[in-house]
Amino acid sequence: MEVVVRTAVPRARQAGVVLFIALIVLVAMSLAGIAMMRSVGTGALIANNLAFKQGATLAGDWGIEAARSWLMTNSSGNTLYNDNPAVAYYSTWQSTVDLLGQNPGMTAFDWSTAVTVGTDAASNTVKYVIQRLCDSPGDPASVNCVKSTSVGAAATSSTKGAAGYGGYAISIPTNAYYRITVRVSGPRNTISYVQATVY
């Protein structure tokens, strides 16, 4: 009978270098994935904020038209000669009032006293205030105002190309300019201001 003696052959020691490199690559790929997710998330957030801001700015047209309509309704007589805070109308440009509330040297305008036009389907609340561009109340013909003083061209034999009737030119009345400021408050604390100057 033959006896076979088996001797254990020692295995070569593994250093584990491949495992270490694989872990480093895995960590690097994880960090790259997280950075890409944050970048995509930030881009989407910026796009959403811009969409809210643009929606708020578009809602400002509603306020401009409402204020313009009020001015046209009240343009006859001397209604526009004096302040009417109940309807957010001021007969002066209020040089010491800051409509945006960002100038610490001026009085911030209280937007709770402005006229609320309404809230649109996108949850934008629209308010406006009207300021006549004059330095004091009164008739625009007798106080210092920013105003239109254009006069139609004189017509002698024809009215073609001139604002005239017969032989007399039609004068454009001397009107003060009005500044309409609209504040739109929307979702996610979106605030947008739109201004228009009309006469």
pLDDT per position in the chain (199 positions), as tens? 676 667 666 666 666 778 888 889 899 999 988 888 777 767 777 777 677 777 777 888 899 999 999 999 988 888 889 999 999 999 998 888 988 888 888 998 999 999 999 998 888 899 999 999 998 998 888 888 887 766 544 444 544 454 444 444 444 455 789 999 999 988 878 888 999 998 8
**Stretch (H or E) spanning 36:** helix 17-73
Which residue type occupies 65? E
| Rounded distance between C-alpha atoms, residue 121 and residue 58, angstroms | 12
Helix (H, G, I), strand (E, B) or coil at 64: helix
Residues 6 or more apart whose Cβ sits within 8 Å of residue 35: none
Two tokens, residue 171:
């004068």
Neighbours of 76 (CB within 10 A): 8
